[in-house]
Amino acid sequence: MLTIYGVYRSRASRNIWLANELGVPFKLVPIIQHYRLKKPIAPDVVHTRSPEFLKVNPNGHVPSIDDDGVVLHESLAINLYLAKKHGGPLAPANVAEDGAMSMWSLWAVTEVEPHSLLLATKGITEPEIAALRGPFAVLDKALAKDGYLVGGRFTVADINVAEIVRYAMGAPQLFDAAPNVKKWLAACQARLAFKTMWAARDKEPA
């Protein structure tokens, strides 16, 4: 069975959303981020610097997975692996789509996440909004043709990018200037698999 290490209020949400889309059963092992602990040492809470978790991921970050002995870290790489393993419309149909899905995932990490994450955690600032206008314009143009990133259909690439763009939702001016992005993100988040993940996230302590 697939084991996901992390909590819903972490980047593990990306892997949980995909598992829901694929219909893959999984076991969630709650591992809270160390920086969220109210006390420096909390022996009753398994966190990212706990010795037992560091045996799984010596980097001390969530998520990680153990898929019948295949241990992987990094949420977007995990999603690309799971999609290719289980196949179907969310997976690449050929090597060109595989490359495009990897490209968009890495693009989101390098071009969007450094700024969108700050908007989500530190509040709305003009420098971060200004830094995101260009990437949002690029994404808006890419979505203009058929509404999705790869192959004219919803794929793992949309999950990977949508979960990073989501961090910027507190800045509606970015989405108003990129109507294709706004429509696409709404469509992604209207999916049952996302709603199921989000409902569980809402029940988890902040």
**83 or 125, higher pLDDT:** 83
Q: In this structure, are 99 and 187 located in the same domain?
A: yes
Tell me the pLDDT band of 43, cut-offs 50, 70 and 90.
low
The per-residue pLDDT for 94 is 98
Domain membership of residue 141 as a residue range: 95-193
The per-residue pLDDT for 112 is 98
Q: In this structure, are 99 and 19 located in the same domain?
A: no
How far apart CA 12 and CA 203 sit, in angstroms, is 15
pLDDT, the chain, mean: 96
**40 or 147, higher pLDDT:** 147
CA atoms within 13 Å, Cβ hemisphere of 8 = 15
Q: In this structure, are 152 and 81 located in the same domain?
A: no
Q: In this structure, are 107 and 160 located in the same domain?
A: yes
Q: Is the pTM here over 0.75, yes or no? A: yes
The per-residue pLDDT for 37 is 86
How far apart CA 14 and CA 12 sit, in angstroms, is 5
| For range 70-90, the mean pLDDT | 98
Q: In this structure, are 31 and 60 located in the same domain?
A: yes
The per-residue pLDDT for 206 is 83
Q: In this structure, are 79 and 121 located in the same domain?
A: no
46 in a structural domain: yes
Tell me the pLDDT band of 39, cut-offs 50, 70 and 90.
low
Do you know the residue count of the chain? 206
| For range 51-56, the mean pLDDT | 96
| For range 122-139, the mean pLDDT | 95
CATH number of the domain at 161, please: 1.20.1050.10
Quick check: helix, strand or coil at residue 171? Answer: coil
Q: In this structure, are 106 and 177 located in the same domain?
A: yes
Q: How many domains does the chain contain in total? A: 2
| For range 187-197, the mean pLDDT | 98
The per-residue pLDDT for 121 is 92
Q: Count CB-CB contacts under 10 A for residue 168.
A: 26
The per-residue pLDDT for 45 is 79
Condensed to tens digits (0 to 9), the pLDDT of residues 136-161 reads: 999 999 999 999 999 999 999 999 99
